[in-house]
Structure 1
Amino acid sequence: MKKLSIVIPAFNEEENISHLVAELDKSLADIAYDYEYIFVNDGSKDNTLVELKAQAASHSNVFYIDLSKNFGKDYALKAGIDMAKGDAIITMDADLQHPPHLLPQMLQHWEEGYDIVYTYRKDSNPHVGRFQKFASKKFYKFINAISDITLENGISDFRLLDEKVVYELKQINEYEIFFRGMVKWVGFQQMGIPYTPAARHTGEASYSFWKLVKLAVGSIMAFSVKPLYIATGLGLFFSCAALLYIPYILISKLYGFDELSGWASLIATVAFFGGLQLMVLGIIGSYLGKIFMQTKHRPNYIIRSTNLPRSRK
């Protein structure tokens, strides 16, 4: 019998855990697989860990991994994937927005030969505001334009991974992980399923605006060096444009124009180019900072406790 591992990162989801387990049991009741649930407590401040231990005590197929602090969703996903031993691994959120009833369909596509079955949100999602829809479209359009991967608008962390894909993902030990891009990057036979997210069962989304901005910037830099090329191109363009100023200087000297004229435009130009230089240096510094952090070889996560045997890693 094939084994299915479902990896679920959880941050302050104490009221959702029991409902999710019940929904998963209902969706998987008729499948011919041995399956397990691996919850990763990503430094929750509420009683998520207490609830996970209670579920593990009453369900033999529920396991938990308690991280030492909040490392972030992608690192929590990696912790669960590193410890999972299924022939296929499914990752999903704990807030019940990822519909468990899609699991049989994902498994069917896996049996048909697909190595990765991912999901992406429909544009008609009623639980997302106009600004969020607009920002999501622009983000994916931008990252597709400047990187070597293509991400569907609204692609999510609700996906199925074959064990050979998981093996390759386990070899990756990057400082900043962007799993949505990484899964696309590894290749293999992939197919996408559109879905409409459900409303959160309880609680609120933990991503703030600035966290989303940080995620966007980090994901772009994780899969592209084009910002460096853009910075180089800007420098070259404005350097060439500055040469066009030479004829103006010569004419001014020749005809004796007032040397004080144009001081406002000069100050504006200096301020503009100063800001441009700081932007370019910031881009270069960001890449250097990532290299610096990568050379430290710190672990992506630290496990404080788990009811899984450590030998599984």
Structure 2
Amino acid sequence: MSENGTSADHSSVSMGHTELSKVSRTGFLSIVVPCYNEEEGLAELIRRACDAGRSVFEDRFELVLIDDGSGDATWPMIEDASAGNDHIVGVKLARNYGHQIALTAGLASCQGSYVLVLDADLQDPPELLGDMLSVLKENKADVVYGQRDSRAGESGFKKLTATGFYRLLKANSSVDIPLDAGDFRLMTGRAARIIVEMPEHDRFVRGMVASIGLKQVPFAYHRDARFAGETKYPIRKMLSLAVAAFMGFSMAPVRIAARLATLMFFFSGFAAVVAVIIWMTTSTVPGWTSLMVLVAISSAMNFMILAILGEYIGRIFMSQKRRPLYIVETVKQARSSENPQVLRRIGGGVFLGDHPEDL
């Protein structure tokens, strides 16, 4: 059960019998899905996402699929799907930029007055769209974020580390980042545009959404197991995301470094006083052991502090280069009208245009 009493079990949602109250008569929906090596589950993703969009918004929706430099058949499948379906927009990035930047490219490419963010693995059921839209309208909110009541198909280690990460981040951030919430959310177009215009390169989108304010409402749901294939978020990527979250939304690492430095200052001062007392009261020359331990501890602390500060300085350096956040290689859609949101520099990204061989 969520804070506002909203909960959902998508197994009870029937796409063929959507309640009339959940059918939107106005507005345009964009479903944004970053994809990386998702050939095994892509057809099912397209089917379920389009069914969900059609059940609530009828023909007023688009499915924006962002290929984040996949090495399998993901992009050819997106091309084929977009050629035969007016609702599908395919966006191919020039290389693999990572999930958070690919998601930003998708938000920049969409046109909807409502935006539903999904992962391609279908762990977050698109069938909850109608319920989430009802909650958004009832609360006059700008964001309805999915809050995981339970998680199927994930190891105990991942659940434990995810639980600890969200609570540690919340305790050390000035931004109220919701617990147990990923990128699965429904938001208004104006909220999505704010995220796109944020200039930072090291992006933690769920934290960025929380930082914009506006009214944001939780929506409790059960997270399914992955539909097909293997996770695209190994430990290395999860650690990278965690570092981006702490560096972007918490001063805790710098404050820890300052506290360590203060602690080392007092510890070194105490050791110096003890050494003087020993020298004055005894004729014993202090041994090398205590000296080396002190040097080792102080050196380790210094290196740790330098590493933390260096991480912040490195991120500042990369941001000041002002390189494009991403490069869109091509856009595929069956509609005759071009998407004006894509065909210009947006959200820190650049659209390349047609290759000479394609003209």
Q: If the length of structure 2 is used for normalisation, what is the TM-score? A: 0.83
Listed one character per residue, the Cα deviations across residues 233-261 of structure 1 (whole Å, up to 9, x for unaligned) are 22122212322224322321222242143
What residue is the counterpart of 2:350 in the other structure?
none
What residue is the counterpart of 1:215 in the other structure?
241
What residue is the counterpart of 2:166 in the other structure?
140
Task: State the alpha-carbon separation in 1 of the partners of residues 248 and 57 from structure 2.
Answer: 39
Alignment of 1:155-234 (within 5 A): 155-234=181-260
Task: State the alpha-carbon separation in 2 of the partners of residues 111 and 254 from structure 1.
Answer: 78
Q: Which amino acid aligns with 1:234?
A: L
Task: State the alpha-carbon separation in 2 of the partners of residues 127 and 57 from structure 1.
Answer: 34
What residue is the counterpart of 1:238 in the other structure?
264
Q: Which amino acid aligns with 1:312?
A: Q
Task: Count residues in correspondence.
Answer: 311
Task: State the alpha-carbon separation in 2 of the partners of residues 245 and 63 from structure 1.
Answer: 66
Q: Specify the SS of the correspondent of 1:158.
A: strand
Task: State the alpha-carbon separation in 2 of the partners of residues 283 and 156 from structure 1.
Answer: 26
What residue is the counterpart of 1:128 in the other structure?
154
Task: Give the % identical residues.
Answer: 31
What residue is the counterpart of 2:289 in the other structure?
264
- Find out whether 1:22 has 2:22 as its counterpart: no
Q: Which amino acid aligns with 1:214?
A: S
- Find out whether 1:306 has 2:331 as its counterpart: yes
Displacement of 1:182 in angstroms is 0.3
What residue is the counterpart of 2:70 in the other structure?
44
Displacement of 1:310 in angstroms is 5.3
- Find out whether 1:292 has 2:321 as its counterpart: no
Task: State the alpha-carbon separation in 2 of the partners of residues 27 and 85 from structure 1.
Answer: 18
Match of 1:150 among 165, 171, 176: 176
Alignment of 1:96-107 (within 5 A): 96-107=122-133
Which is worse superposed, 215-224 or 301-310? 301-310
Q: Specify the SS of the correspondent of 2:223.
A: coil
Task: State the alpha-carbon separation in 2 of the partners of residues 150 and 78 from structure 1.
Answer: 21
Task: State the alpha-carbon separation in 2 of the partners of residues 234 and 88 from structure 1.
Answer: 47
Match of 2:307 among 256, 267, 282: 282
Displacement of 1:110 in angstroms is 2.2
Listed one character per residue, the Cα deviations across residues 172-197 of structure 1 (whole Å, up to 9, x for unaligned) are 12111110100001111001112222
What residue is the counterpart of 1:117 in the other structure?
144
Runs of at least 5 residues in structure 1 that lack an aligned partner in the other structure: none
What root-mean-square deviation, in Å, do the aligned CA atoms of Structure 1 and Structure 2 show?
1.5
Displacement of 1:24 in angstroms is 2.2
Match of 2:37 among 12, 37, 52: 12
Q: Which amino acid aligns with 1:296?
A: K
Task: State the alpha-carbon separation in 1 of the partners of residues 56 and 268 from structure 2.
Answer: 69
Residues 140/32 of structure 1: CA separation in 2 closer, same or farther (3 Å cut)? closer
Task: State the alpha-carbon separation in 2 of the partners of residues 36 and 285 from structure 1.
Answer: 43
Runs of at least 5 residues in structure 2 that lack an aligned partner in the other structure: 1-25, 343-359
Contact 1:136/1:153 (<8 A) preserved:
no
Task: State the alpha-carbon separation in 2 of the partners of residues 267 and 285 from structure 1.
Answer: 26
Listed one character per residue, the Cα deviations across residues 202-260 of structure 1 (whole Å, up to 9, x for unaligned) are 11001121221111111100112232122112212221232222432232122224214
Q: Specify the SS of the correspondent of 1:203.
A: coil
